[in-house]
Amino acid sequence: MAFQKRYEEFRKLNCELIGLSIDQVFSHIKWVEWIREKLGVEIEFPIIADDQGKIAEKFGMIHPAKGTNTVRAVFIIDPDGIIRAILYYPQELGRNMDEILRMVRGFQTSDANGVALPANWPNNELIGDKVIIPPATDEKTAKERLEKAKAGEIECFDWWFCYKKLDFD
């Protein structure tokens, strides 16, 4: 349900959601029905029944110490079908929707701009919402960076750690 509550935010990021469970189809039908009737929420994304557990097994989602109980997992897969991140959660700990959305935004920002993102981006303790420019790979580029920093085009702590503000408009 937490994913559904954020479904529009994921869609705005051009991100599709798919649920997967080792439960059988009838169980999914009843679960979706219960959420609609009791909580007033309509699940709009598909839920796949992996009732033999083959997909869950391949993705490491069966907890070895808990029988057929699955580990809660989130896989962030890019448009090319490449798994970019995997988050595993024990049953006792709910997923963090804000972090999952942050990761999707972060991958899209990094890919579109050829930059890296600092810890806790966009609320980094050192550079805030700015992004890290990949390190220079030669002396000429390192010197050019310092010149750009002097001109106010980018900011640098040193030639190897430069960052800039992105314009998201």
Residue 123 CA to residue 135 CA, distance in Å, equals: 21
Q: Give the least confident one: 25-29, 69-73, 108-112.
A: 69-73
> Would you say residue 169 has pLDDT above 90?
no
Residue 166 CA to residue 31 CA, distance in Å, equals: 43
Question: Which token pair is 31?
Answer: 């679960």
Nearest alpha-carbon partner for 76 in 22, 14, 122: 14
> What does pLDDT average to over the chain?
90
Classify 8 as helix, strand or coil: helix
CB 121 within 8 A of CB 106: yes
pLDDT digits (tens, 9 = 90+) for 67-76: 666 678 899 9
Q: What's the DSSP call for residue 69?
A: P
Banded pLDDT at 116 (limits 50, 70, 90) = very high
> Would you say residue 61 has pLDDT above 90?
no
> Would you say residue 64 has pLDDT above 80?
no
Domains of the chain in start order, with CATH, are 2-96 (3.40.30.10), 114-164 (3.30.1020.10)
Nearest alpha-carbon partner for 26 in 60, 4, 49, 3: 49
Residue 163 CA to residue 97 CA, distance in Å, equals: 27
Which residues lie across from 89 on neighbouring strands?
72
Banded pLDDT at 92 (limits 50, 70, 90) = confident
